[in-house]
Chains A and B, each alone.
Chain A
Amino acid sequence: MLDSIESTLEALGGQSYLADPALGTSLFLALKMGKPLFLEGEPGVGKTEVAKVLSRVFETPLIRLQCYEGLDLQQAVYEWNYPRQLLAIQARPTGSDASGEVLEDIFSEPFLLKRPLLQAIDASQDKPPVLLIDELDRADEEFESFLLELLSDFQITIPEMGTLRAVHRPMTLITSNRTREVHDALKRRCIYHWIDYPSPERELEIVRLKLPEVAESLARQVVAFVQGLRRQEWVKLPGVAETLDWAEALSHLQVQRLELATVEATLGFLLKYQDDVEKVKSGVGAQLVREVLAKEEDESG
């Protein structure tokens, strides 16, 4: 379906996702070569969104595994349905002592609870799903080493049942916010892509596309302000998601021209740390607003 970089970019664009050619190339290659795509980048640059868009493009289910510390096989792959197993043992006719049979019985598919990773390689699907392993950096190293096995062969071994192999390789995306370094061995099995903050032009395009109701002039000011913020050092820089939220909020407030008071009142949309908010209020904000307005006058006049 997607047989060139251009058509990949087009398909993403058709679902209102503006990707730059570099991301288009990585995604195209990942799909073509059947390799997982490893997306790294600051929070809010649209990593998770890629998976959602992909599942819409291919009209295939999105299977999402949110990682967290302590994530284990029971939550990620499969678990046995214990209450059901207990009932099955109780219900079996008294006097039968074929213990081997019981074992075989209660450790079979009807008693299996499929978690995301097993669902992703489930043979009953008619086309490959999109598998999103989100924020892998939150999981611990033990889970990472398990993934190594899954990602190289797309198969899962259940001791009681044997090895299950994917009929359709899922389109796999892994994201990381880089709160820690994910092991090289894992990254090497993937196609690696670092998503950066978008350029001013692209960010403006994104705002236009996602929020057509926001006035052109306001969109320009919002993007200029956020880009100005990103040039300085903060505990946490605002991502594209924050830009969109803020633009929408300002548009609801019917703002046409950025003013310091409005900016300060709505800062919570952009900056999520009190230290950062205070820094903006101590003069950085006023300076930025002046710059943005001067630039806006140049552009419109």
Chain B
Amino acid sequence: MSQGSGPGFRPASGRSEAPAPLLANVLLFGRVLRRAGLPVSLGQMLTFLEALEWVGITDRQHFFHTARSLLVYRREDLSLFEAIFLKFWRSEHPLDSPRGQKAPRAPRHDLKPVPFTIANYLAHKARLFDPEIEVTDRSGSFSDQEVLQRKEFSRMSEEELAEVRRLLSQLRWKLSQRRTRRWVSARRGRRVDFRKTLRQASQWGGVALSVPRRGPKVKQRPLVLLADISGSMEKYSRLVLQFFYCVSQSLGQVESFVFGTRLSRITPQLALRNIDRALEEAALEVVDWSGGTRIGESLESFNRQWSRRVLRRGAVVIVVSDGWDRGESAELGAAMRFLQHRCHRLIWLNPHLGKSSYQPLVEGMQAALPYVDDFLPVHNFHSLEQLAERLQDLPRRR
């Protein structure tokens, strides 16, 4: 559509006093919106033009509200839209320099130079392994793998960790299911499917020769992953991210968050197909790699901002942390209580738990423990396998 009104778009300083045709301006506006990352379709632009006939273009506020209600359909985009609108329609001659229109870009299209972070480093290392090398890796004898499975992550070398990551991507994840309230045809269902029964009966002259049944539909539970990536967890955070990535790829309905002193949601990043890019993008989203920890505060902001949206329909929550908390332990306790009351099962994975000498004496861990349903170790690969088994077979009640 930009082609159609091509000549009108040239910067024309000579005729800037003549008002540019509205149509061209509106179309250009649509283009600017799209360039900024707002998903505005041609259909929406046409509807907008149609609506202008009724609303008129004399009242600036009406014009703005009309544009907003027809071109935006996500709350997140509202402020970006407003910023662009104000910028675009402020000057009387927006056609003066279409190239100079610098709308703020939506964050997802922002390509910043990549800073050095653990995940980037991990991604870089991962690139060194091509698939062919992986095949030769598999030739490692069975007993080697056995040793690897029991070895603690914190004592592994770079190569061993890479091997663990490969094993991780082979693990099959399955989450326990729940009955939904939707009913579908089921051979041994509890309810009679009257509609089918009668339809068949009427074909048999009104005699119900068979009685089809309906039962509840079962669905996988939603899963919410929350990982501590503060300084004390640094050596695990790369593995944790990889673990999150594998789980999100093999299960639907997974939401991932990481926190140190504040919470970041990395679900959209982990949905990328390419693992390197996924981890890179996730690393960009996170502001405080290896900083301090405020578990209570982070969980509380999760509760406030996200719990109502992601803890639905009997979700399972997994928190990965060692419980070293610099915040108030009372706050952590309250946040955990809130969290536990709103999910089907709250699982805490602690990397230190596998060590025989470990006692959960840290204040933060003490505050959180009363509200944890399963307190499990994640210190070696074997414990991850156990977790996978556990997730498949969660008890129906606490």
Contacts and interface: CB of A to CB of B under 8 A. Distances in A.
Interface stretch (A54-62, A188-196, A203-211, A238-246): A188-196
B265 to A, nearest CB: 13
A85 B198 contact: yes
Interface stretch (B48-56, B95-103, B109-117): B48-56
A235 B304 contact: yes
A146 B262 CA distance: 39
A149 interface: no
Given A29-B54, A33-B51, A72 B183 contact: yes
B69 A21 contact: no
Interface stretch (B23-31, B73-81, B236-244, B367-375): B73-81
Given A22-B65, A233-B304, A99 B55 contact: no
A218 interface: no
B180 A69 contact: yes
B70 A191 contact: yes
A5 interface: yes
A72 B201 CA distance: 24
A92 B72 CA distance: 58
B203 A191 contact: no
A25 B61 CA distance: 10
A300 interface: no
Interface string B111-148: 00000000000000000000000000000000000000
Given A99-B205, A106-B202, A192-B69, A275 B181 contact: no
A293 to B, nearest CB: 29
Contacts of A160: 199
B69 A26 contact: yes
A193 B181 contact: no
Interface in A66-116: 68-70, 72, 79-80, 82, 85-86, 89-90, 92, 97, 99, 102-103, 106-107
A40 B76 CA distance: 12
Interface string B34-77: 00000101001001001100110000011001101110111100
Nearest to A37: B69
A22 B65 CA distance: 5
Given A26-B65, A193-B69, A194-B78, A89 B206 contact: yes
Contact of B195 (A21, A80, A89): A80
Interface in B279-334: 303-304, 308-309, 312-313, 334
Nearest to B47: A33
Q: Which DSSP category, helix, strand, loop or mixed, fits chain B's interface?
A: helix
Contacts of A89: 198, 201-202, 206
Contacts of A190: 73
A86 B204 CA distance: 13
A82 B194 contact: yes
A180 interface: yes
Contacts of B50: 33
Contacts, number: 111
Contacts of A29: 51, 54-55, 66, 69-70
Nearest to A26: B69
Contacts of A68: 181
Interface residues of A, number: 49
Interface in B218-260: none
Contacts of B74: 184, 187, 192
Contacts of A142: 182
B206 A90 contact: yes
B52 to A, nearest CB: 10
Interface in B337-374: 338
Given A40-B75, A82-B194, A25 B55 contact: yes
A295 interface: no
Contacts of B202: 89, 99, 102-103, 106-107
A124 interface: no
Given A29-B69, A85-B198, A275 B62 contact: no
A38 interface: yes
B194 to A, nearest CB: 4
A140 interface: yes
A178 interface: yes
Interface in B166-221: 180-183, 194-195, 198-199, 201-206
A32 interface: yes
B198 A82 contact: yes
Contacts of B313: 69
Contacts of B70: 29, 191
Contacts of B309: 178-181
Contacts of A180: 309, 312
A193 B67 CA distance: 11
A70 B181 contact: yes
Nearest to A193: B69
A262 B51 CA distance: 50
Nearest to A88: B206
Given A72-B182, A99-B205, A106 B198 contact: yes
Given A22-B69, A25-B66, A70-B182, 9 more contacts: A22-B68, A24-B65, A32-B51, A33-B47, A72-B183, A140-B182, A191-B69, A193-B69, A275-B334
22 contacts: A5-B62, A21-B61, A21-B62, A26-B69, A29-B70, A32-B54, A40-B75, A70-B180, A99-B204, A106-B202, A140-B182, A178-B75, A179-B309, A179-B312, A187-B74, A188-B73, A191-B70, A193-B69, A233-B304, A234-B304, A235-B303, A275-B338
